[in-house]
Amino acid sequence: MLRYTLMRLGIFVGCFVVVWALVYSGVAPRGLGSSNGMWMIMLALVVSAPISFVALRKERDRASERIAPRLDRSIDRVKSNLAANRSQEDEADDAARTPAPSGATAADTDAGNAKAAESGAEAEGVKAS
C-alpha cells in the first residue's frame, strides 16, 4: 500500500512540475491574484488522476489483494459482535416479557398493584404539601 501511495504521489509531483512550467512559460493560464498556487495544485490533480488510474492499475490490484483478507476478517468480526449483541438484547427482552411465576395468583398481583398505587398517591400528597 505504501508503494502505491508513493507512486501516486510521484505522478502528482511530476504533473505539478509540468503544470508549473506551463503556467510560468505562459502556455497555461495563471490564476487570479494570489490563487496561482492553488490553481496549479488543482490543475496537477486533474491531470494526475487519470494518469494514476491507468498507469497504476496493476499496483492498485496488488494492494487491494493484500487488503481484502484483512477487511473480510474485520467484517466477520463486526457481524459476529452484532449477532452476539442482538442475542443478548433478545434474551433480556424475553426475560422482561415472561409472565409472573405460576405460584402467584391474579389476586396477588392485583393486591401488589393496589399497594403500589397507594404508595404513589402518598408520595404525590407529600410533594403537594
- Reported as a single tens digit per residue, the pLDDT across 9-44 is 999 999 999 999 988 888 878 777 767 888 899 999
CA angle centred on 110, ends 104 and 112, rounded to 5°? 80
**Residue 53 reports pLDDT greater than 80:** yes
- Comparing C-alpha atoms, which of 12, 10, 5, 4 is closest to residue 47? 12
What single-letter amino acid sits at 26? G
112 or 63, greater pLDDT: 63
pLDDT at 78: 87
Please, what is the average pLDDT of the chain?
A: 78
36-56: string of b/e by CB count within 10 Å (b at 16+)?
eeebbeebbeebbeeebeeeb
pLDDT at 41: 92
101: left (phi over 0), alpha (psi -120 to 50) or beta: beta
Q: What share of the chain in percent tops pLDDT 90?
A: 26
pTM of the predicted model over 0.75: no
Within the chain, how many helices (H) and strands (E) appear? 4, 0
